[in-house]
Amino acid sequence: MNKISITCLAFFSTTMAVIAAPLVDYKNPSLSAEVRTDDLLSRMTLTEKVGQMCQYVGIEHIKKSEKYLTLKEMQSGDAHGVYPNLHSSKMPDLIKKGEIGSFLHVVDPKEANQLQQYASESRLGIPLIIGIDAIHGNGLVNGSTIYPSPLTMASSWNLDLVRQSSVETALEMRATGSQWTFTPNIDIARDPRWGRVGETFGEDTFLVSEMGVAVIEGLQQGDFTGDKKVLANAKHFVAGGEPVNGLNIAPMDLSLRSLKQDHFPPFKRAVDAGVYSFMAAHNEVNGVPAHANRFLFTEVLREEWGFEGFVVSDWMDIERLNGLHRVAETQTEAVYQAVDAGLDMHMHGPNFLRPLIKLVEQGRITEARINAAVRPILLAKFRLGLFENAQVDASAASDILFNAKHKQTALELARQGIVLLKNDSLLPLPQGKKIFVTGPNANNHTMMGDWVFKQPKENITTVVEGLRAVAKPSTSIDYFDLGSQVKTLDPRQFAKAAKRAKAADVAIVVVGGNALRYDRKGKTAGENVARSTINLYGEQLALVQAVQASGTPTVVVLINSRPLAEPWLVENVDALIEAWEPGALGGQALAEIIFGEVNPSGKLPITIPRSVGHLQAIYNHKPSTYVRRYIDAPTKNLFEFGDGLSYTQFKYGKPTLSASRIAENESTRLSVTVKNSGDRAGDEIVQLYIRDNFSRVTRPVKELKGFKRIHLDAKQSQEVTFDITPDTLAYFDLDMNWRVEPGDFTIMVGSSSRKTDLKTVTLTVKP
């Protein structure tokens, strides 16, 4: 027999042996994800299981920290990832040993592919799940679509658009190698000093819940099976948006009643919507850090609500149980408290695996608890299709990122999320005018907001660029560059600004804040950037005053991520626009509104108080909140929750109920006719509020219970209906039972939460 025959026979025998070898269940894509998960789990060692609970910062991210920063700088803040006793060059070996199950801060698809290649070389070939902070678009990745910030999204009150932006974000994430985003942030933002207000959907439990569900539905699209969907993450559980002093991580002490009626509902709705991951809050809740809070994560989240996904810690917060909160004397004790409380994954680093293995060996943590943590992580990887193909085609991403469809969604969200707060018949501006534009936020990228790294300049339309693009040749745009930092305006330039404004027909001054993550020195908002005041930072008000004193009609545009309290603006400028952070196409959307090509329709998802001394300022306050008055200032807000003007007018008819007397278990339907009485088409956001007139436990003066966004042509009318169910009327009674109490309820419907904007009808619940 010749060599060729022997070789062929050997090849044939080997091939037949491979064909004959049974495919192990976890590698068989024809089996269900659940069956594959159980099979894989049965084959794993304890170290491999705990490895799935370990998340690390991306290697390239660490390399930059190692190269450019001192150890002191790297340890001084949360933005940097570094492991003093573990050099980045050693991390591939940990992946191959199966000791890492997840990464974050991976912003390059090539790096994502390399990490997945390392994982494929591990004993069982378990792929990684890569998480990223894609909060309003996949903004940490260069070239992504930057949608308006969550607070701006909430101002649109458009759930369909928010859902669509999340579908598109999922596509851009998967194209660039990540499969899990740490959003939505469904904290209730009740303190505008807090730096993360712009990352939330505002102050109201109902609106936040609806927005959160829309994001989850868009990202996961059911059970997130396939290669075009990602995991969502409900965060931060719980009460981080109401810190005692406005500072991130600060303690929160509040009653069980407040937890259940105000802070829990968005998270419960997230569970009902199928959200697959949760993140613990930085803060302590009633004396127990969230990361060690068994009540929150075991008793409530899993046992009461039936959550079946997995829980990840926030950035290094297990370590803070020892170093900050001082509830654990050692890191091993901190790991015990966190895992025993119900946390399933550690963000981030090496100080978790060995302590947890030691705890299992000591019998303090059972292997059954480890299995319960690992099973949903593995199941997610199977459903996401990572075992079949964890690699992405990096060259194909350019066709998906910032494509025409995604840009259109971002633009429409900006159009609908920008809020016109004041207009003394100045807007919309006719073409053919000489317009003077200035201000630190007029021609920079602050409109992108937090959780965004530098993006291609050509992808971002600034306010000045938008005005120039929308203006007709007959319109003159005179831009005076005062610099692009809200903190460092030079007052010596204000006289020049006023002089140029005087020569114009209209002046537009663009001021506000700066939440850009990459502009560390210039930031005035964002994660860990709180303020003790909530007025315009630095010399910005003086700039506006100088321009307004020129006598030229003045429009002020706010680009910011938190409510700004400046009574002088409200009382003196001719028009005031709250643009929040309208994203990549924000400059175009803003210009279209200023010139009247788009009719403004945004409504505030948060109250704007008169000053920091007026906090807490929420629309759904208790009846006794304002029984007394301040002696040094008006006892009222600058703008109310739900406020927002249009270039047309809407009139509400008298609301009616299909049944004005119902039993505790019955429903009724409210109907109201809304008419566009103006001369141009526009969108209105019809808002439904209720008040329980008398109850054994005090209730808010009003609570949002429904909203609908409608479009009406000039002179057109539409009947709008809302179903009022027992859940609409129920509350936690004196014994903390969820029920409807008999009695009268005031049902309110109108254009904002302001009393004068609401029409009322009485509903009686029979005993």
Q: Where are the alpha helices (DSSP H) in 290-366?
A: 294, 317-323, 331-341, 353-361
Per-residue pLDDT tens over the stretch 534-567: 999 999 999 999 999 999 999 999 999 999 999 9
Q: Annotate 214-240 with b (16+ C-beta within 10 A) or e (fewer).
A: bbbbbbbbeebeeeebbbbbbbbbbbb
Give burial (CB, 10 Å; 0-12/13-18/19+) of 40: buried
Among candidates 596, 595, 615, which has minimal Cα distance to 607? 615
Give burial (CB, 10 Å; 0-12/13-18/19+) of 603: buried
- For residues 595 and 599, what is the distance between their CA atoms, to the nearest angstrom? 9
Six-digit token string for 624: 């006794």
Secondary structure class of 236 (helix, strand, coil): strand
Per-residue pLDDT tens over the stretch 530-542: 999 999 999 999 9
- Domains in the chain: ranges and CATH: 421-614 (3.40.50.1700), 650-765 (2.60.40.10)
7 membership: H or E segment, kind and range: helix 3-20
At residue 334 the predicted structure's pLDDT band, cuts being 50, 70 and 90, is: very high
103 membership: H or E segment, kind and range: strand 102-104
Q: Is the model's pLDDT at 653 over the cut of 80?
A: yes
At residue 3 the predicted structure's pLDDT band, cuts being 50, 70 and 90, is: very low
- For residues 673 and 99, what is the distance between their CA atoms, to the nearest angstrom? 62
Q: Where are the alpha helices (DSSP H) in 56-145?
A: 59-68, 71-75, 91-96, 109-120
* Phi-psi map region of 235: left, alpha, beta (phi>0 left; psi -120 to 50 alpha): beta
Are the beta carbons of 343 and 312 closer than 8 angstroms?
Answer: yes
Are the beta carbons of 467 and 587 closer than 8 angstroms?
Answer: yes
CA atoms 210, 216, 218, 223: torsion sign: negative
- For residues 311 and 319, what is the distance between their CA atoms, to the nearest angstrom? 16
**Residue 85's pLDDT is what?**
80
- For residues 469 and 492, what is the distance between their CA atoms, to the nearest angstrom? 30
> What integer best gives the mean pLDDT of the chain?
95
- For residues 750 and 757, what is the distance between their CA atoms, to the nearest angstrom? 6
Six-digit token string for 217: 């539905």
**Residue 14's pLDDT is what?**
45
Q: Is the model's pLDDT at 74 over the cut of 90?
A: no
Six-digit token string for 648: 């047309």
At residue 488 the predicted structure's pLDDT band, cuts being 50, 70 and 90, is: very high
Q: How would you classify the pairing of strands 434-438 and 506-512?
A: parallel
Per-residue pLDDT tens over the stretch 389-398: 999 998 899 9
**Residue 22's pLDDT is what?**
78
Secondary structure class of 81 (helix, strand, coil): coil
**Residue 67's pLDDT is what?**
67
724 membership: H or E segment, kind and range: strand 717-724
Q: How far apart are the first and last CA of the chain?
A: 98
764 membership: H or E segment, kind and range: strand 758-765
- For residues 284 and 292, what is the distance between their CA atoms, to the nearest angstrom? 9
Q: What number is the average pLDDT over the span 112-136? A: 98
Per-residue pLDDT tens over the stretch 137-179: 999 999 999 999 999 999 999 999 999 999 999 999 999 999 9
- CA geometry: angle at 582 spanning 398 and 702, to 5°? 135
Q: Is the model's pLDDT at 717 over the cut of 90?
A: yes
Q: What number is the average pLDDT over the span 430-450? A: 98
Q: Is the model's pLDDT at 5 over the cut of 80?
A: no
Q: What are phi and psi of 737, to 5 degrees?
A: -95, 140
**Residue 4's pLDDT is what?**
47
pTM of the complete model beyond 0.85: yes
Q: Is the model's pLDDT at 29 over the cut of 80?
A: yes
Can you give 544-599 as a three-state secondary structure string? Answer: HHHHHCCCCCEEEEEECCCCCCCHHHHHHCCEEEEEECCCCCHHHHHHHHHCCCCC
**Residue 75's pLDDT is what?**
53
Per-residue pLDDT tens over the stretch 351-362: 999 999 999 999
Q: How would you classify the pairing of strands 554-559 and 650-652?
A: unpaired
| The length of the chain, given as a count of residues | 767
At residue 10 the predicted structure's pLDDT band, cuts being 50, 70 and 90, is: very low
- For residues 352 and 334, what is the distance between their CA atoms, to the nearest angstrom? 9
Can you give 669-712 as a three-state secondary structure string? Answer: EEEEEEEECCCCCEEEEEEEEEEECCCCCCCCCCEEEEEEEEEE
Query: What share of the chain in percent tops pLDDT 90?
Result: 92
Q: What are phi and psi of 692, to 5 degrees?
A: -80, 110
Partners of residue 670 on adjacent β-strands: 657, 722
Six-digit token string for 380: 């997610």
Give burial (CB, 10 Å; 0-12/13-18/19+) of 325: buried
Secondary structure class of 391 (helix, strand, coil): coil
Q: What number is the average pLDDT over the span 19-41? A: 90
- For residues 276 and 278, what is the distance between their CA atoms, to the nearest angstrom? 7
Q: What number is the average pLDDT over the span 663-692? A: 98
At residue 63 the predicted structure's pLDDT band, cuts being 50, 70 and 90, is: confident
**Residue 603's pLDDT is what?**
98
Per-residue pLDDT tens over the stretch 602-639: 999 999 999 999 999 999 999 999 999 999 999 999 99
**Residue 81's pLDDT is what?**
74
- For residues 576 and 590, what is the distance between their CA atoms, to the nearest angstrom? 12
**Residue 739's pLDDT is what?**
96
At residue 15 the predicted structure's pLDDT band, cuts being 50, 70 and 90, is: very low
Among candidates 603, 577, 593, 560, which has minimal Cα distance to 412? 593
At residue 69 the predicted structure's pLDDT band, cuts being 50, 70 and 90, is: low
- For residues 245 and 431, what is the distance between their CA atoms, to the nearest angstrom? 47
